[in-house]
Amino acid sequence: MAWRAALRSKAVIPALLSCSSHGRLCASPTFITQRNNSTSPKIKVDYDQTTGVAVMHMQSPPVNSLSLDFLTELCISLEKLEMDKGCRGLIITSNQPKVFSAGLDILEMYGKSPEHCGEFWKVVQEMWLKLYGSNMVTIAAINGSSPAGGCLLSLTCDYRIMADNPLYSIGLNETQLGIVAPFWFKETMVNTVGHRNTEVALQLGLLYKPAEALKIGLVDQLVPEDQVFSVATQTMTKWLTIPEHARQITKSMMRNPTIDKLRTNREADIQNFVSFITKESIQKSLRMYMEMLKQRKA
């Protein structure tokens, strides 16, 4: 598994890690993860040991698309934070202007071998399993557009705060690309906004403006753009006052049925994805969608 291999390798900067007196892995207040083949990290993590809150800044230009490398870094960072029992909260936000995340990197699914698509899908699953099942309180500070996989990323969090900017949108728009969100994308959405809203949203591939997203419960709160991060920090403080163990068990109780379904069907889910995405007709849809993106830009 790519992310595990990276974790075992020297990809994580060891000098930035230290061990606590309890023998637990402990991250220094600020650390970054880096892959050997990447000059600039795609994710920057600031971890404040005094508050027990880490902030994950996505910084992969231009649009924080979730590539294999990006997701591998994300999983490594998450694993490190999760192993540090002092880290109780995680805020995820973007350092890119106007975009939280553009979702899965389409180039990882277009013109690639079945083996590559399978490896990519495995790390997409891993990201979701780690975030949706995290023991930490997780808050998405959504400071830009967040389509498809970007929306999924935010849906894995416990709470979503979005910039009240009508230029931004959020939603699972997969059908607009001619592709199908798998059952665990769908269930994450159902668990958040209910069956009927999901049925309509997924079939039509709807992207919601912030006000509409708030109305259906896709996000929990809208705030002026320059306050997204400060409100996320205040919200985190509130969530961290709840007794840890009770909150974690409650979270597991709510989410484990969905998580277990993927855990027990991971290989079949990968096979489904690979045979679907490598179909000629689906590849054609992806190509047309990418051309549309380029034309829109021109």
Candidate list 9, 29, 62, 196; residue touching ligand TC6; CB under 6 A? 62
Please, which residue, 136 or 219, has the CB nearer to ligand TC6?
219
Please, which residue, 179 or 213, has the CB nearer to ligand TC6?
179
**C-beta of 77: minimal distance to ligand TC6 in Å?**
20
Please, which residue, 97 or 257, has the CB nearer to ligand TC6?
97
Tokens encoding 150: 């970007």
* Number of residues located near ligand TC6, criterion CB under 6 A: 25
**C-beta of 95: minimal distance to ligand TC6 in Å?**
14
User: Does the footprint of ligand TC6 cover residue 188 (CB under 6 A)?
Assistant: no
Please, which residue, 249 or 293, has the CB nearer to ligand TC6?
293
Q: By CB under 6 A, which span of 5-13, 35-43, 135-143, 169-177 interacts with ligand TC6?
A: 169-177
Closest-by-Cβ residue to ligand TC6 is 103
- Positions marked active-site: 104, 149, 173-174
User: Does the footprint of ligand TC6 cover residue 145 (CB under 6 A)?
Assistant: yes
The residues of the shown chain that bind ligand TC6, judged by CB under 6 A, are 62-63, 65, 98-99, 102-107, 145, 147-149, 173-174, 177, 179-182, 293-294, 297
